[in-house]
Amino acid sequence: MRLCRPNLPSDGLLHADFSNDFVPDEIALSEHQNEVLEQDTSCRAHAAEPADVIALDGMLELPQAFGSINLGETFATFISVGNYSDTSVAGVIVKAELQSSRQKVSLYDNSATPLHLDPGERHDFMVKHDIKEISAYTLVCSSSYSTADGVAYQPQYFKFNAANPLSVRTKMRTLDQRVLLEACIENATSKPLQLAQVKFETAPSIKAEPIHHSASSSRDVEDLRQPDIWLESYADGLQDVEPGGSANYLFMLTAEQQAGSQAPQKGLTGALGKLEVRWRSSSAALGRLQTQQITASSAAQKDVALTLCSLPQEVCLEQPFTAQLRVHNASSAPADSLALSLPAEEIPGFGMHLMGVPGEVLGELSPTQNQMVQCGFLPLHGGLVRFPLLQLMSSTSGKILDVLAEDTYVTAGGV
């Protein structure tokens, strides 16, 4: 029983001189047919089989170390109990338990139906268990059977460790009613991993849309029903991550509009969902991990707030668009002499240009009243771009009441 996979043993030597391969085989054979060679072959012409020159005999070698396993993978082992004596053995009870630092799990127990093993007879079985915690594990395999002197007990212990193969970091950007979630998945093992699936399991009333290139996204539904095209799309969607390397994913989270509801959607707060990652290791073992609940904190409510209300379905690079802003008076007193302005000093680092002057003085807003304002913008960079810092201020006192600090995702479009 080993967690380490068998490999091909090799002494690392090539049993041939490849410089002799530049002459025809019949000449090479005639020149060396009477010589006594120190090695088995002097060129490939002398080899009976192609594998003879690379020192591989076709046998697999089992490493001496028991090995380790990754968190999220399935522990599976083959156990064999054999009677190597000259007499039959009755009342054979076999148990297999997996112990960690927190719990003990029974994987196999035939106490209800003891075995009877004749000389040379074996009892083989497999056990499996999903590794769900990082810990040192001990597999305890024990057998007991009846003898003339009583009951004999034979335990065996196999120890291994479970390590975390992935490091997941997330970053969120709030876009009014939407949240951009960026996930960075890093390979923390010493061998390559192949990411098979990365998806976001949303909380109720929230939907997630991945924003990254997918080879299958450009395929028609009819094409994906053909096995060869489906397999090609699946293979293109796999991503190899080298040891210490990382892969990045981006998701757009929005609140689902309730049927028949006319109230404006609120920003996403509280529990958003969990990120699920499926991968295959270098030994083709399938693993699955799920993060803890990802939450979005709610911002403190302001007396007068400036928020981004609506955007076009797609914002394209270097193509002007119009966005709707909402000014809301959440206080119990009227707000008068409201106006929109830009900072006196230009702040670098924004990939969005405000087209024209924001506009006139908004005037007075009664308590709980909203006022919509339209502004034109021109995206200058692609990807995640921040809007200019529009300030909502009181023109009489000069006090800044709120600042529009929002981002949006800009696509290449037709450029």
Q: What is the mean pLDDT of residues 365-372?
A: 84
Neighbours of 89 (CB within 10 A): 19
The DSSP-derived string for 343-391 is -SSPPS---EEEES---S--EEE-TT-EEEEEEEEEE-SSEEEEPP-EE
CB 132 within 8 A of CB 162: no
In whole numbers, what is the pLDDT of the chain averaged over residues? 77
Q: What does R_g of the chain's alpha carbons equal in angstroms?
A: 34
3-class secondary-structure state, position 136: strand
Domain 69-163 is of which CATH architecture? Sandwich (2.60)
CATH of 166-296, one of 2.40.30.170, 1.10.10.60, 3.10.180.10, 2.60.40.1230: 2.60.40.1230
| Fold match flag (69-163 vs 166-296) | yes
pLDDT given for residue 33 in this prediction: 47
Q: What is the pLDDT of residue 415?
A: 47
Q: Decide: 122 and 150 in contact? Cβ < 8 Å.
A: no
CATH, domain range 304-411? 2.60.40.10
- The full set of domain ranges for the chain reads 1-67, 69-163, 166-296, 304-411
**Mean pLDDT value of segment 378-398:** 82
Look up residue 394 and give its amino acid: S
> For residue range 101-132, what is the model confidence (pLDDT) as tens digits?
989 999 999 999 999 999 999 999 999 999 99
- In the predicted model, is pLDDT for residue 274 greater than 50? yes
Q: Please, what's the b/e burial string for 94-132 (b: 16 or more CB within 10 A of its CB; e: otherwise)?
A: bbbbbbbeeeeeebeebeeeebebeeeeebeeebeeebe
The per-residue pLDDT for 138 is 93
Taking CA 411 as the corner, what is the angle to CA 408 and CA 415, rounded to the nearest 5 degrees? Answer: 140
Average pLDDT over residues 303-315: 84
Dist. CA 101–CA 36, nearest whole Å: 62
Q: Comparing 322 with 35, which gets the higher pLDDT?
A: 322
Q: How confident is the model at residue 65 (pLDDT cuts 50, 70, 90)?
A: low
pTM of the predicted protein model: 0.59
Provide the percentage of residues in the chain whose pLDDT is more than 70.
70
DSSP 3-state assignment of 81? Answer: strand
Up-side HSE of residue 279: CA atoms within 13 Å toward CB? 29
- pLDDT, tens digit, for every residue of 75-99? 988 899 999 888 889 999 999 999 9
Mean pLDDT of 328-337: 81
| Residue 24 DSSP code | -
For residue 343, pLDDT beyond 80: no
Closest to 75 (Cα-Cα) out of 125, 124, 128: 128
Report the distance separating Cα 268 and Cα 177, nearest Å. 6
* Phi and psi torsions of 11, nearest 5°: -85, 0
DSSP-derived letter for residue 293 is: P
Residue 308 and residue 389: Cα distance in Å, rounded?
12
Q: What's the token pair of residue 89?
A: 């053995």
Percent of the chain with pLDDT over 90: 24
Q: How confident is the model at residue 127, as a pLDDT?
A: 92
**Of residues 326, 200, 331, the one with CA closest to residue 265:** 326
Indicate the DSSP class of residue 115: E
Q: Say whether pLDDT at 66 is over 90.
A: no
Cα 339 to Cα 401: distance, rounded to the nearest angstrom: 10
- List, for residues 193-208, the tens digit of each pLDDT value: 999 889 999 988 888 8
